[in-house]
Amino acid sequence: MRRDGQIAQLLREAGESVPYTSIDTFHEWWNRRLENAHVSVRKVPFSELDSWGFDPDTGNLQHSSGRFFSVEGLQVRGGASPWSQPVINQSEIGVLGILVKEINGVLHCLMQAKMEPGNVNMLQLSPTVQATRSNYTKVHRGTSTRYLEYFVGPQRGQVLVDVLQSEQGAWFWCKRNRNIVVLVTEDVPLHEDYHWLSLEQVRSLARTDNLINMDARTVLSCMPFALPEEAEAVDSDPFRRALVRSYHYRGEGPESRPLHTVGDILSWFIEAKSGCDWSARLVPLKNVTGWRHTQDEITDDQHFRIIGVEVESVTREVQQWSQPLLQPYGQGRALFLARPINGILHLLVQAHEEPGLLDQVEMAPTVHLLPGADESVTLDPFVRDALASDSVTVHYDQVLSEEGGRFHQALTRYQIMEVGDDVPTDVPPNYCWMTVRQLFDLLRHGHYLNIEARSLIACLHSLH
């Protein structure tokens, strides 16, 4: 069994070795996948959805098998005023798995070209396995999920990462998926929809709009494999030097330290949870107020609408199906402010309440705006001032997609901006400066970092 130290060693050797495939070869493969993908996605009235219907008692939109997911109501009580909204309820735990292997002395990931009906661009680069339990137990009688045997059942490799992580707390009810990375040494048969890429190649592809899908990003964020500390010494760029330090320093060192201890951070987080004066619960969809329900959509005309689509595809397990999707109005925004403190890059993390989160609060990016949110109202004055600082340097700015299997063209603008000493280390109570290493330690456990924060961690990996 390899230990984490040996994995790091693998990566340390990466500089001396070469990836299995060039990025040009990847793009050739990718373009062939696009050419071969024949997909049509058509909006249809709810009545034309096959096997989906509204329950006469609850008004919930659900599948006749009782599996997959349902659209129900979410009600928030307490707080300023009670409110309700539709929400996607998918209680089963899916698998988001990346198979990794040492090739030419370099850690490689087996990535998939995967079609999802909600994608703006049909195909995106996905984990080796991205499957709900209903998928892989074959409720809809499709072809079996490729490579699933590496993640489920008798162990065929070494588990490097294994953690339940949340998904959008604004749109899902207590959704969580198993983020899992398995290292194999055996030969793996390669299907044409899959491609081996070095970890660094995958990370660098996060700098392309709408390419690395949400499910891949969350798994990548949980892979705490860092560049060697020696990289710090040779890098002439101060941002990258502070970034590499941020991956390593745990604060035990005598000189420069993270601003806060892990104990301080955990206590800050519990304090934020304890301050919640509201609670949320599932209610029948028919009890949701303030949303229009027509034959084509359920909408509040501001945040999102529930629609139905009919899909025809030759690249997915099942060739033809229909399903509901959640379509947000407009684009979301997720932004981490980053600042070197004691020579170590710190990210400004926000304790963020979301009604559908399992435990109400998770750690979110500095700015976390949902589509339809009014930036001028929602943005904290401290953050607005920091964003207007002269010292801002934009290091990352891409538009990436949220889960295309449940959301219709849900896009988020992801940004990482560096600020200088003019932005203070003292911050409002719902914010806290943390190093990347501290976030990695939390990522071993579920329900600390929300999906948008994890996406941004995956983006941060592309900045080395």
Residue ranges that bind a copy of itself, judged by CB under 8 A:
78, 91-93, 95, 133, 159-160, 162-164, 176, 178, 180, 263-264, 266-267, 270-271, 273-274, 276-277, 279, 281-282, 358-359, 444-447
Closest to a copy of itself by CB, 42 vs 281, is: 281
Q: What CA–CA distance (Å, rounded) separates 344 from 240? A: 10
Closest to a copy of itself by CB, 66 vs 189, is: 66
Secondary structure class of 339 (helix, strand, coil): strand
Least distance to a copy of itself from the beta carbon of 274, Å? 5
Least distance to a copy of itself from the beta carbon of 282, Å? 5
- Give the Cα-Cα-Cα angle 196, 201, 205 (nearest 5 degrees): 110
Pairing between β-strand 52-54 and β-strand 106-115 as defined by DSSP bridges: unpaired
Closest to a copy of itself by CB, 125 vs 181, is: 181
Residues 346, 444 contacting (CB under 8 angstroms) = no
Residues 182, 99 contacting (CB under 8 angstroms) = yes
Cα-flanking dihedrals φ and ψ of residue 345, to 5°?
-70, 130
Q: What CA–CA distance (Å, rounded) separates 144 from 73? A: 32
Least distance to a copy of itself from the beta carbon of 87, Å? 12
86 forms beta bridges with 73
Strand (E) or helix (H) holding 437: helix 436-443
Closest to a copy of itself by CB, 23 vs 270, is: 270
Least distance to a copy of itself from the beta carbon of 133, Å? 8
Q: What CA–CA distance (Å, rounded) separates 232 from 253? A: 16
Least distance to a copy of itself from the beta carbon of 197, Å? 24
Our measurement of the distance from residue 265's CA atom to the centroid of its chain's CA atoms, rounded to an integer in Å, reads 22
Closest to a copy of itself by CB, 194 vs 269, is: 269
Least distance to a copy of itself from the beta carbon of 269, Å? 9
Closest to a copy of itself by CB, 281 vs 292, is: 281
Strand runs (DSSP E) across 314-372, as ranges?
320-328, 332-341, 344-353, 361-364, 367-369
Least distance to a copy of itself from the beta carbon of 258, Å? 14
The DSSP code sequence of 183-242 is: EE-S--PPPTTEEEEEHHHHHHHTTSTT-B-HHHHHHHHT------THHHHH---HHHHH
Task: Put residue 59 in one of left, alpha, beta given phi > 0 → left and psi -120 to 50 → alpha.
Answer: left
Our measurement of the distance from residue 452's CA atom to the centroid of its chain's CA atoms, rounded to an integer in Å, reads 6
Closest to a copy of itself by CB, 44 vs 262, is: 262
Least distance to a copy of itself from the beta carbon of 89, Å? 8
Closest to a copy of itself by CB, 131 vs 311, is: 131
Least distance to a copy of itself from the beta carbon of 251, Å? 11
Least distance to a copy of itself from the beta carbon of 97, Å? 12
H runs (alpha helix) in 359-400: 375-378, 381-387
Closest to a copy of itself by CB, 100 vs 383, is: 100
Closest to a copy of itself by CB, 52 vs 173, is: 173
Residues 325, 309 contacting (CB under 8 angstroms) = yes
